[in-house]
Amino acid sequence: MPSCLLSYPAYLRPGVGLLFDDILAIGINHDSASVEIREQVAFAAEKINVALSSIIGETPLEEAIILSTCNRTEIYGVLPAQYCPTEAGNAVVEWVERFHGLQSSALNECIYRNTGHHAVTHLVRVAAGLNSMVLGEPQIFGQLKSAFAVADDAGAIGGRFGQLFPAAFRIAKRVRTDTAIGENPVSVAYAAVDLAGQIFANLARSKALLIGAGETIELVARHLKEANLGSMLIANRTLARAENVAEQFNAEAIMLADVPDRLAEADIVISSTGSQLPILGKGTVERALKKRRYRPVLMVDLAVPRDIEAEVAGLSDIYLYSVDDLRGVVEENMRLRVNEANKADEIIVAGIAALEQEFRSRRSVDVVRRYRESALSIQEVELAKALKAVERGESPEQVLQRLARDLTNKLIHAPTTGLRQLAREGDSSQVTRAKALLGLEEDLGQGPDKPTLQ
C-alpha cells in the first residue's frame, strides 16, 4: 500500500480545501511544453475511449476525463478514499508515458500537477479560458464539455465528477456573462487571420485554402470572411462536412485528396485537422510553388500533431507559422483582457467558495443520514433482543436496564473511539470541536459537581 495513505476519513482531515482533496489534475500546455512535446502526448479522438478504459484499469483513478486540444493535454481524476495524491500522480504520468510509448521520465520537466482545491481552481480557470494561450478564448469551454460527455459515455464518470464538472461549468459560464473576457475575437484562429492581414496588404485579392472542417477552421473562415478575403477553398476528408462549412462562407469544398492539385491557387494555407500524420510535405509544397512561379505563400499550422512538415519552413517564399509562433501575435490582444481576467478570478474565487459550502451541506446531510440509519439499526437489534427476553419471562425492569445500558454503550462506541484517536494525535483543536459536536460544555469535568470522563 502507498506509504502516505491517511489513517482517518477524508472529511476529518485537517487543512484547507478538504472537500476536494480526492481531485487530481495533471497535464501539459502551451506554457509548460513545446509543440514537439505536446504532439507526442496528444490523444486522437478515436482513441479516447480506449485511453479512458486503460487509465481506469491501470492507475488508482476511480473516475477520469481526458482533455486533448492543440494547446494542452490534461487528465482529471478522482482518487480512492485516503489515497496519496503524490503517488497517484506518479502513476498517471507513468501511464501517459506508457500509452504514448515515451521514455520513462520524459515528461518530468514540463508536466504540472494540481490536487485538491488547486485542481478545482485550475479546472474552472481552464473552462473560463483564463489558462489559454489566447486569454478568454471560448473554444476551450466547448472542448471541455465535450471531453466530459465522452468520458460519461465511456463510463468513466461517477457521482464525484457528475457533481463537480457541471458546477465548474456554471462558474465558468458566469465568468462569460458577467465580464467582457469573451468580447473582441482573440482566438488562435483570429491571430492567424490577423497575421495574414499583416503579410498581405489586400486580402480581397487573396485566396485561402483551409484544411479541415472543425470548429477552429470554421472560426478561421468566419474571420477571413469578415476581413473581406477574396475567395477560399475548404478541404476535408469528408466532402459533405467540407460542403457544410463552405456553404456558410460562399466557399468551394474539395476533398483532402485534391489538395496537392489545388495548392498552387492558395496565397494563404491554414490547416487544423486531427490527423496523426502530416497532410502537406516538402515535395508537395515545392511543386505548388513552381506552379505559382514562386509567389509567396503564408502557411499557418494550427494542428497538434502538426499537419505541415517542419521542413517546409526551409523553402524560399514560404512563411510557415505553427501554433507556438502565434504567441507574439496574440499578446497584444491579451493585454486588452487583463482587467477583465482580474474580475473573472474574483468570480471564480467566490464561485468555488459557494461550491465548497454547497458540498459541505451535502456532506453534512449525508453524514447525519448515515449516522441516524446506524443508530436506528442498533435500536432495532437491541429492541428485538429485549422483547425476546420479556417473552422468555425475564423481569421487565432488568430487561429495560440492560436495554438502556447496551444502547448507550453501542451508540457511544464509535464517537469514543474517534475521540481517543484524536487525543492520541495531540490535536487539541480537533478534540475541542468534537466536544462541541457532542454537545458537551468546554469546562466539563473541571467543576466540583461535574462528572469526569473516564
Tell whether 333 is covered by a domain: no
pLDDT band at 444, cuts 50/70/90? very low
* Alpha helices (H) in 250-395, listed in sequence order: 259-262, 282-291, 327-335, 338-391
Average pLDDT score over residue span 376-391: 86
- Quote the CA–CA distance of 340 and 345 in Å, as a whole number: 9
Amino acid residing at 126: V
Residue where a domain terminates, one of 294, 327, 360 = 327
**In sequence order, what are the beta bridge partners of 319?**
298
Give domain status of residue 341, yes or no.
no
Q: Is 115 helix (H, G, I), strand (E, B) or coil?
A: strand
In 10 A of CB 139, how many CB atoms? 20
Q: Do 116 and 153 reside in the same domain of the chain?
A: yes
Domain limit, last residue, from 136, 156, 182? 182
**Which residue among the candidates 4, 70, 84, 110 is catalytic per the annotation?**
70
Higher pLDDT, 303 or 367: 303
**Over 90: is that where the pLDDT of 432 sits?**
no
Shared-domain flag, residues 204 and 274 = yes
Classify 346 as helix, strand or coil.
Answer: helix
Residues 6+ apart with CB under 8 A from 329: 191, 194, 195
- Shared-domain flag, residues 169 and 202: no
- 15 and 138 part of one domain: yes
Full residue range of the structural domain in which residue 15 is found = 10-182
Cα separation, 249 vs 252, in Å, equals 9
Cβ atoms 172, 124 nearer than 8 A:
yes
Q: Are residues 210 and 162 in the same domain?
A: no
Largest CA distance in the chain: 112
4 is catalytic: no
More confident position, 381 or 153: 153
In this prediction, what percent of the chain has a pLDDT beyond 90? Answer: 59
Burial of 123 (0-12, 13-18, 19+ CB in 10 A): buried
242 pLDDT band, cuts 50/70/90, is very high
Domain boundary residue among 327, 350, 379?
327
Nearest in space to 254 (alpha carbons), one of 271, 280, 273, 236 = 236
Closest of 134, 125, 138, 132 to residue 186, by C-alpha: 134
Of the segments 228-242, 363-377, 413-427, which one has the largest average pLDDT value?
Answer: 228-242
Residues 167 and 23 in one domain: yes
Residue 418 and residue 434 in contact, taking contact as beta carbons nearer than 8 Å: yes
Residues 155-190: tens digit of each pLDDT: 999 999 999 999 999 999 999 999 988 776 567 888
Q: Is the peptide bond before 305 cis (omega within 30 degrees of 0)?
A: yes
| Whether 203 and 174 share a structural domain | no
Whether 65 is in a domain gets the answer: yes
pTM given for the model: 0.62
Residue 17 has pLDDT above 60, yes or no: no
The string of DSSP letters for 288-324 reads HHHHTTT--EEEEE--SS-SB-GGGGGSTTEEEEETG
Task: Specify the number of domains making up the chain.
Answer: 3
Is residue 197 located within the same domain as residue 147? no
Question: Which residue spans within 44-184 are E strands per DSSP?
Answer: 63-68, 72-78, 112-115
Residue 100, pLDDT > 60, answer yes
Residue 381 lies in a domain: yes
